[in-house]
């Protein structure tokens, strides 16, 4: 840090403490304590503050009065001495980062440092330890009665709470790389609104029960001691508005919501590990990778002002692990705590183009939608476009009894001019009697002079009440004329 003097010359802190004006006056050290504390606080790291304070006797005890202490890359023994020297009774923030230790940090010593931190009553606490783990030997976490925010990043550890006390003011809690069951601490957090857990899950079932929780983010990390038994998260949080589940592990993880249903606006499930993608169809390698809900502002047909609607987004990927799915797309959607979806977005990422079964199975759970957006697999080019290279069994889904009574708009991206895509489109038209607008986007290589393109235009012309577009242009500009009327009855 540098300070600007009136003369314009810059002065560094270690120079400023010894700088003297005319007559030998130490102008900087003559400043009031409150102003000097403000100067020291601007250094950011308390390590730097302690070193800077050593250049002048007047400055040496000042750092101990700071209400924000930040210790980075300090060893436990030095940290213990610094915490013992600090004198502010109610810190606004305490940030501690213990550097990597070859011998690790025993749970007893970790517990002692946390108790020393508690003595300063921090309003915000961030405590990070990078050392060898002591899994199975818990450390003791004090109930920081004054803290409103706590961030613990302690590798591969579990903890127990002090026998007495509650986190009476705690509103935000972040736990990283820990091994702990939320049922152990949530009953002691009566005001907790935000919980983020980036943890190793060893339990087969985890209960998250809170009357105050509004945001919940759970990350499942792989662990060497975990078995392949599916794990469940049972959530009972009626005030919950945001929920996120991300799994990086090698086993399935499922979430369920207890009654009464939470007030969720956004939900997100994302599966980064192939073996955890257990949502799909029997005898299919298409599994869910991402499922999310959100609220969006949209302008509906015939309306001038935007309205807030609920959107469901589903990303389906090709899963080469050959693992059987434990539940279908429709079953997964039906298990969500919300169901009043207005818009359904379905994106399929696959090396094959047989997607009809996925579309109609997922539509079973969202029959009240007003808008459907499909992004189809980008798997075919000029080499694979001829229909003789593509075979499918339409009986898998053409006989599905799907009713979409409220569907008014539909967008299809990467529509291929082959029998499969054309058959899917016909079933969708049949299932949606109130359809008003259809937009079809063809892949760049698709030919508009072949039989497939003519069949597409014929299907669109047959639905005269629907305004249709191909590649952004109205059907009337497609070059294909209206089919001749049939013989009179």
H or E, element range at 118: helix 107-118
Quickly state the pLDDT bin for 389 (edges 50, 70, 90).
very low
Residue 383, pLDDT score: 46
DSSP codes of every residue in 271-327: E-SGGG--BB-TT--EEEEEEEEEEEEEPPTT-SS-EEEEEEEEEEEE-TT-PPPSB
What is the percentage of the chain residues whose pLDDT exceeds 90?
Answer: 44
pLDDT surpassing 80 at residue 116? yes
**Mean pLDDT along residues 403-420:** 94
**Mean pLDDT along residues 191-200:** 93
Residue 239, pLDDT score: 96
Number of residues in the chain: 489
Alpha-carbon 484 to chain mean position: 53
Q: Using CA atoms, how far apart are residues 166 and 26, in angstroms rounded to an integer?
A: 49
**Does 65 or 125 have the greater pLDDT score?**
125
Residues of the chain with CATH 3.80.10: 290-489
pLDDT surpassing 90 at residue 440? yes
List the one residue out of 98, 152, 104, 155 whose CA is nearest residue 124.
152
Q: Using CA atoms, how far apart are residues 93 and 124, in angstroms rounded to an integer?
A: 5
Residue 249, pLDDT score: 81
Residue 295, pLDDT score: 92
Residue 337, pLDDT score: 92
Q: Are 247 and 268 in contact (CB under 8 A)?
A: no
Q: Using CA atoms, how far apart are residues 345 and 83, in angstroms rounded to an integer?
A: 54
pLDDT surpassing 80 at residue 414? yes
pLDDT surpassing 70 at residue 381? no
Residue that the structure tokens 């967008």 belong to: 411
Q: Using CA atoms, how far apart are residues 5 and 385, in angstroms rounded to an integer?
A: 74
pLDDT surpassing 80 at residue 245? yes
pLDDT surpassing 60 at residue 409? yes
pLDDT surpassing 50 at residue 158? yes
List the one residue out of 163, 161, 36, 164 whose CA is nearest residue 173.
161
Residue that the structure tokens 């030997």 belong to: 137
Fold for domain 290-489?
Answer: 3.80.10
**Mean pLDDT along residues 309-320:** 91
Find all residues with CB under 8 Å of 78, minimum gap 6, and list them: none
Quickly state the pLDDT bin for 284 (edges 50, 70, 90).
confident
List pLDDT tens digits, range 58-112: 566 677 777 888 888 888 888 888 899 888 899 999 999 887 676 678 889 999 9
Q: Are 184 and 161 in contact (CB under 8 A)?
A: yes
pLDDT surpassing 50 at residue 16? no
Tokens of 201: 């899950």
pLDDT surpassing 80 at residue 384? no
**Mean pLDDT along residues 401-418:** 93
Quickly state the pLDDT bin for 251 (edges 50, 70, 90).
confident
Least confident of 3-17, 172-186, 225-239: 3-17
**Mean pLDDT along residues 107-125:** 94
pLDDT surpassing 80 at residue 140? yes
Q: Using CA atoms, how far apart are residues 291 and 366, in angstroms rounded to an integer?
A: 14
**Does 420 or 57 have the greater pLDDT score?**
420
Task: Provide the whole-model pTM.
Answer: 0.83
Least confident of 42-56, 287-301, 412-426: 42-56
**Mean pLDDT along residues 305-313:** 92
SS3 for 475? helix
pLDDT surpassing 50 at residue 45? yes
Residue 396, pLDDT score: 66
Quickly state the pLDDT bin for 31 (edges 50, 70, 90).
low
Q: Are 277 and 245 in contact (CB under 8 A)?
A: no
Angle subtended at Cα 97 by Cα 41 and Cα 12, rounded to the nearest 5 degrees: 30
pLDDT surpassing 60 at residue 4? no
pLDDT surpassing 70 at residue 267? yes
Q: Using CA atoms, how far apart are residues 459 and 423, in angstroms rounded to an integer?
A: 10
Residue 236, pLDDT score: 95
List pLDDT tens digits, range 444-464: 888 888 899 999 999 999 998
Residue 429, pLDDT score: 95
Find all residues with CB under 8 Å of 175, minimum gap 6, and list them: 152, 196, 197, 198, 199
Residue 387, pLDDT score: 42
pLDDT surpassing 80 at residue 371? yes
Alpha-carbon 418 to chain mean position: 37
């Amino acid at each position: 840090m540098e300070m600007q003097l009136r003369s314009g010359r810059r002065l560094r802190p270690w120079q400023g403490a010894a700088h003297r004006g005319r007559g030998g006056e130490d102008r900087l050290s003559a400043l009031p304590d409150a102003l000097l504390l403000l100067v020291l606080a601007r250094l950011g790291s308390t390590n730097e503050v302690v070193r800077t304070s050593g250049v002048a006797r007047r400055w040496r005890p000042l750092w101990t009065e700071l209400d924000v202490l930040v210790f980075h890359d300090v060893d436990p023994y030095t940290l213990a001495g610094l915490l013992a020297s600090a004198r502010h009774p109610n810190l606004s923030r305490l940030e501690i980062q213990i550097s990597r230790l070859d011998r690790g940090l025993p749970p007893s010593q970790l517990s002692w440092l946390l108790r020393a931190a508690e003595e300063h009553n921090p309003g915000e606490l961030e405590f990070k330890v990078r050392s060898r783990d002591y899994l199975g030997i818990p450390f003791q976490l004090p109930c920081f009665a004054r803290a409103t925010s706590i961030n613990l990043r302690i590798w591969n550890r579990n903890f127990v709470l002090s026998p007495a006390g509650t986190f009476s003011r705690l509103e935000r809690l972040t736990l990283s790389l820990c091994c702990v069951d939320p049922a152990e601490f949530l009953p002691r957090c009566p005001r907790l609104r935000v919980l983020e857990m980036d943890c190793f899950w060893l339990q087969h079932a985890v209960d998250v029960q809170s009357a105050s929780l509004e945001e919940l983010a759970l990350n499942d990390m792989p662990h060497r001691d975990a078995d392949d038994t599916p794990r469940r998260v049972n959530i009972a949080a009626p005030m919950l508005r945001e929920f996120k589940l991300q799994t990086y592990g090698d086993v399935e993880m499922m979430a369920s919501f207890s009654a009464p249903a939470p007030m969720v606006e956004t939900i997100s499930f994302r599966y980064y590990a192939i073996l955890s993608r257990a949502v799909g169809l029997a005898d299919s390698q298409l599994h869910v990778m991402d499922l999310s809900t959100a609220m969006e502002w949209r302008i509906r047909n015939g309306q001038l002002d935007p309205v807030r609607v609920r959107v469901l987004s589903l990303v389906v990927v090709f899963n080469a692990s050959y693992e059987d799915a434990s539940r279908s797309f429709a079953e997964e959607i039906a298990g969500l705590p919300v169901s009043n979806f207005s818009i359904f977005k379905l994106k399929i990422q696959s090396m094959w183009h047989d997607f009809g079964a996925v579309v109609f199975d997922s539509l079973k759970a969202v029959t009240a939608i007003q808008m459907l957006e499909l992004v189809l697999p980008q798997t075919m080019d000029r080499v694979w476009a001829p229909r003789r290279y593509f075979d499918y069994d339409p009986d898998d889904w053409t006989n599905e009894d799907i009713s979409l009574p409220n569907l008014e708009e539909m967008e299809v991206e990467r529509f291929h001019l082959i029998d499969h895509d054309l058959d899917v489109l016909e079933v969708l038209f049949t299932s949606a009697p109130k359809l008003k607008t259809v937009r079809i986007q063809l892949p760049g290589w698709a030919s508009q002079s072949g039989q497939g393109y003519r069949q597409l235009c014929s299907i669109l012309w047959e639905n005269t009440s629907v305004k249709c577009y191909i590649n952004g242009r109205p059907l009337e500009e497609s070059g294909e004329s209206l089919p001749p009327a049939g013989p009179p009855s």
